[in-house]
A and B are shown apart, each in its own frame.
Chain A
């Protein structure tokens, strides 16, 4: 199992860390150099964490767990109106992005009201393509509970709900977790208590992801998503020219490739791994609901019988 961690330290000799992680069979997902400091988001094999921590100590850097790394989250607002944007939704999306996840904002067409809210089939399918959905709801307890009864119909991924009142997760129907102290806020969240609320949200989402990871580990994917990313980067040249943010977005159980499906799906299906298998033997290459992108879902070991 791979552990998502963040390394912060000096630029000097940080290559040693990169090389160590790669040698251990881990992956470097993102590298940000800020003047003399470097931030690495990486996946490290859980059994080798001690070695990486040792190395970090030697380089006077710090390794922290970053459970949001390598995930794709949908932040869902009832609509794209002044009521929800720009402040609250963008704050949540940006904060989760800073924690290492890729966030996509979804504004529903008919998400308003507690009695009249609806989710269209397209929206449902689009949200289901993510690892987790954050529903950003409003101020009133009654509305949040009533709305939760019907709005999440058909969503199969974990759902985290935010709102103003402090409710227990059990009180919010169909939600995997609930985080209070949000509500409909029309200013930039920058006070210390508001930042603490955002921290709390990241923490809750991290805990949800840890549970999902444990579930996945019971029947691991035949190929690790970062491995799919690496092979595509090496074998499909056109991905370098893609101007989309994160042309290959990692998810917990696959990747999203931002190339047109019709033109590239065959090429991607036929990517060959050094172990001798092709992509279509270890993963399903599907058309994504987002534009005409490609969604790759790794097959579990129980289906293929092997892990590469």
Chain B
């Protein structure tokens, strides 16, 4: 496993902290999230009870659009069609699924391995198609991250939750009782301290 730069689980209960650390490692490995998280700090106090999970993220590649791997042009003169010429075939399956969903199977033709013809109004649709999002690795990773944190790591009984999620960080505060403002402040402080570490590194 690739080591996270910061990975701290704090708790007044040392045995609990140790097992929670193993538990977080297992979950991140199961969902292959090790590379996504840069720094991670967790605070647990079972007496209060509160569970705070904060992490800085490294999300990698942004969304992939059609224009990134294909030439999108108007079709032959006088015909209502858009011609897509693929430069890489990696995303073809996902692309076809998206096109079928949007325009219907009848309106999609693939005369050649690398050429797809969409029967639609070219003037309106060419730009739309160019910007069509084929794959969103970031969103997928965030989905998995939420799955890991909200559904697997945070103790089940902690049903009162507050979360913050962006492309750069994730913050979860959970408890069995009403959340206290100082917990949220503590969570923000933990996040800030990690940001400072990141800057100084």
Are A and B co-members of a single complex? yes
CA distance A186 to B158 in the complex (A): 18
A114 and B157 form a contact (CB under 8 A): yes
B16 and A139 form a contact (CB under 8 A): yes
What is the interface residue range for chain A against chain B?
A: 20 to 34
B13 and A140 form a contact (CB under 8 A): yes
CA distance A143 to B151 in the complex (A): 19
* In the complex, B30 has a CB within 8 A of chain A: yes
Q: Which residues of B contact A184 (CB under 8 A)?
A: 19-20, 23, 155
CA distance A115 to B158 in the complex (A): 10
* In the complex, B4 has a CB within 8 A of chain A: no
* In the complex, A20 has a CB within 8 A of chain B: no
Closest Cβ–Cβ distance, residue B1 to chain A (whole Å) = 12
Contact segment of B44-52, B70-78, B111-119: B44-52
CA distance A65 to B102 in the complex (A): 68
Contact segment of A66-74, A76-84, A93-101, A299-307: A76-84
Among A82, A116, A139, A141, which residue has its beta carbon within 8 angstroms of that of B157?
A: A116
B156 and A113 form a contact (CB under 8 A): yes
A82 and B151 form a contact (CB under 8 A): yes
* In the complex, B109 has a CB within 8 A of chain A: no
CA distance A117 to B107 in the complex (A): 56
Contacts A82-B151, A139-B20, A142-B47 given; indicate if A116 touches B156 (C-beta within 8 A): no
B156 and A79 form a contact (CB under 8 A): yes
Contacts A115-B176, A140-B13 given; indicate if A183 touches B19 (C-beta within 8 A): yes
* In the complex, B92 has a CB within 8 A of chain A: no
In the complex, how many residues of chain B place their beta carbon closer than 8 angstroms to a beta carbon of chain A? 25
Across the two chains, which residue of chain B brings its CB closest to A81?
Answer: B156
B157 and A112 form a contact (CB under 8 A): yes
Closest Cβ–Cβ distance, residue A182 to chain B (whole Å) = 9
CA distance A143 to B13 in the complex (A): 11
Q: Which residues of A contact B177 (CB under 8 A)?
A: 115
* In the complex, B188 has a CB within 8 A of chain A: no
Across the two chains, which residue of chain B brings its CB closest to A113?
Answer: B157
* In the complex, A204 has a CB within 8 A of chain B: no
Q: Which residues of A contact B158 (CB under 8 A)?
A: 113
A187 and B157 form a contact (CB under 8 A): no
* In the complex, A220 has a CB within 8 A of chain B: no
Q: Which residues of A contact B11 (CB under 8 A)?
A: 140
Closest Cβ–Cβ distance, residue A110 to chain B (whole Å) = 10
* In the complex, B152 has a CB within 8 A of chain A: yes
Q: Which residues of B contact A206 (CB under 8 A)?
A: none
Across the two chains, which residue of chain A brings its CB closest to B47?
Answer: A142
Which residues from chain A sit less than 8 Å from chain B, CB to CB? 78-79, 81-83, 112-117, 138-143, 164-166, 183-187
Sample of 8 further A-B pairs with CB below 8 A, known A78-B157, A184-B155, A186-B27? A79-B156, A83-B155, A112-B156, A115-B176, A139-B23, A140-B13, A165-B15, A165-B16
